[in-house]
Structure formats: structure tokens, C-alpha cells
Amino acid sequence: MQATFETYWNYAQHVAHWTNALLAPPPPHVLQILAAANESQEIAKRFVNGFNNPPDYQEWFMDPDKAAAYLASVNL
């Protein structure tokens, strides 16, 4: 059972983290991402596709430094 749970949690932890992030007031970097998504189809698509792949949010959305690096890499 432990191995089964660990396999499950490897994915589900990202879902829980994402859900909790949506329940809290958005930090400044999230507001920047949402504003940029309004201007960039690429950012908007990545944001929406994250609902189908929550682990991706860890790579660019949850952390202010990763968000800044991602936004800097996208041509607006």
C-alpha cells in the first residue's frame, strides 16, 4: 500500500498544491502571469494546459523566480 500511495502522491501533490494556490489570494508574480497571459497566446495556453498537467505549474507558476524567468523567455 505504501508504494501505491507514493506513486499516487507523486502526481497528486501537484494537484493539491495547485488547488491550494487557487484558494489563496494571488501573490504578485501570479498577477503578472495572468496579465501576461492576456497578451500572449503562448502563456495563456500553458496556463490552461496546466489543468491537465498540474506538475508543470511547479516549473513556472508557483515560484516567483521561475515565473520571472519564464516570462522573460516568452516574446511578448
Q: Beta-carbon neighbour count of residue 67 at 10 Å?
A: 20
Mean pLDDT of the chain: 95
Q: Which helix (H) or strand (E) holds 13?
A: helix 2-23
For the chain, the domain total comes to 1
Q: Taking residues 47-53, what's their average pLDDT?
A: 96
**23: containing domain:** 2-73
What integer pLDDT is reported at residue 76 of this predicted model? 66
Q: Is the dihedral of CA 69, 70, 73, 74 positive or negative?
A: negative
Q: What is the pLDDT of residues 1-23, one digit of tens each?
A: 999 999 999 999 999 999 999 99
